[in-house]
Amino acid sequence: MKFNIAKNTLLKAFNKHQQFCVGSCHAFMALRTDYIHQLKTVHDELGIKYVRFHGIFNDDMNTICDFTNIFPIPGGERFREISFHRCGIAFDNILSIGMKPFIELGFMPSQLANAPVQGNMTFYGSNVNLPKDYDEWAGYIQEFIRYLIHRYGEKEVLEWYFEVWNEPDLKGVFFNDTKQDYFKLYEATVNAIKRVHSGLRVGGPSTSGSKWIQSFITYCKENKLPLDFVSTHQYAGDPLIGVTDAGDPDLEGAEVSFDKSGFLKIGELFEKLPEDTKCLDILRMIFSDPTETKDLHENLFRKNAMIAKKQSDGLPLLYTEWNLCASFSAISNDTRKAAAYLIKTSLDIEDYVDGSAVWCFSDIFEELHQFTQEFHGGFGLQTLNGIPKPSFYALKMLAMVGGNRLDLGAESTDGEIGIAAFSDENTKQVLLFRHKMKQLSLPKVTATVSFELNKRPAGVTLYRIDDTHCNPYQLWLDEGSPSDLTPSEIEEYKEKTSMKKEKIEFSYENGVMAFDAMLGVNDIWLICIE
């Protein structure tokens, strides 16, 4: 396969939307030192500015307390206090490392909810019900906003974002009511915020699969509601029964229920398993990896982002969650397949997205359970103990390239081997990747790149992600999948699989520099030309 980059190729500013934000576990985790340490690594090495998490109002954040929480005395519920102290500590920690919070407003404090916590997808007990009194909810939101402005100052808080709820289209998972109920919740919330300060940025609908955008904007217009940005999510593979991840988002606006009958019959499964079966292995039997078991559309995200951008009616479009696979425990999340997907998709959607947040920055993550196996298929860019995965290095490559992208045409990322080229004042970069949704064992393919340059390069270096580079999961497998790593072993993993600069052979004749790249499935090469 041959690629030629002409000297007169047009340049355009490269939208590094993936540096806007990153996702993480629930708010309580931001009180932990290991969480903040890993988040600082993401900020410092990947250049990411904001962090988003669930559960800022969950009961473990203690924002509302009545006397029955101290002593269960009848009548004690009349004596209620509101405190956002823990929220403040979480935000203090985030600001201390140079990042800013992207605040997802949810879930519902139990004292304000119209029903108790019911079984849902979160280990930490999120209440995903509506408020029993909208005036009470509005007052609570206003008190939260006043607290933030008092603690951090108006100028600082005006730089933050406020997103109403998370994935309300997933009924029974993150929301127990209807689309119209979510719209009403948004209305009460945005009006409460704007009464405190009209300049704060508020948006939604924060749906899965690029859904509800058209009807949400229509509702906001008809009811004259403020809307500062549109937010939604997109994954290539989604495990929830009844949730489609293909097609026109307009046609996917129907409510989606979490159909537990779609899972394996758990009781029958348990009867057949030996007692020493690992919990992680059972979870993998329940949640398959759709990126390996289904034929997924490789350009789905670009297609839906194009539609979502048109539907957004000129408002900023933020994808506040995205990644290869929404199936927790999928082995693909730890592999270079996820890295190749992040590279391809980041390049594919840059013309349509104003900001995005890869889900998520660390396997410090207990939505279902905090699994402690070093590589358990978590969503994180880093393992529980902070070992960077191939996906981390993919985002690092995108952070390293220049601020201008050479326009090689949309088809340049559509083939089996994709290519992108960049430049800044002193250097040029070529990014090559061989992306497949299934990690197939195929022979390596040679890609020959010729680049027209004014003079012979002073130096050409290579960074790569493949079987033996930036691939700690493969090293872990080669070493027998150890169940517990010591601190010194963790540092050894980091060093052995860190991104290293290599020399690459090239030719330069008649104003053309050329080199060959041997790419296996889901390998990535970044070539830097000085």
271-275: Cβ within 8 A, 24+ apart: none
CA-wise closest residue to 321 among 165, 518, 94, 477:
165
Q: Which of 104, 163, 167, 252 is catalytic?
A: 167
Give Rg (Cα) of the chain.
24
**Residue 222 designated active-site:** no
Q: Is 321 buried (19+), middle (13-18) or exposed (0-12) by CB count in 10 A?
A: buried
Q: Which of 104, 187, 321, 350 is catalytic?
A: 321
**Residue 492 designated active-site:** no
Mode of pairing for the β-strands spanning 50-53 and 100-105 = parallel
CA-wise closest residue to 341 among 329, 358, 354, 328:
358
Cα–Cα dist 188/227, whole Å:
13
Residues 400-438 as b/e (b if ≥16 CB within 10 A, e otherwise) read bbbebbbebeeebbeeebbbbbbbeeebbbbbbbbbebe
| DSSP labels, 142-187 | HHHHHHHHHHH-HHHHTTSEEEE-S-TTEETTTBSS-HHHHHHHHH
Cα–Cα dist 510/513, whole Å:
9
Three-state SS annotation for 405-426: EECCCHHHHCCCEEEEEEECCC
**Token pair 């960074």: residue:** 463
Cα–Cα dist 396/277, whole Å:
37
Query: Residues 6 or more apart from 212 whose CB is under 8 A from it?
Result: 169, 179, 205, 232, 249, 253
Rounded to the nearest 10°, the torsion over CA 225, 108, 234, 121 is -160
Task: List residues with catalytic annotation.
Answer: 167, 321
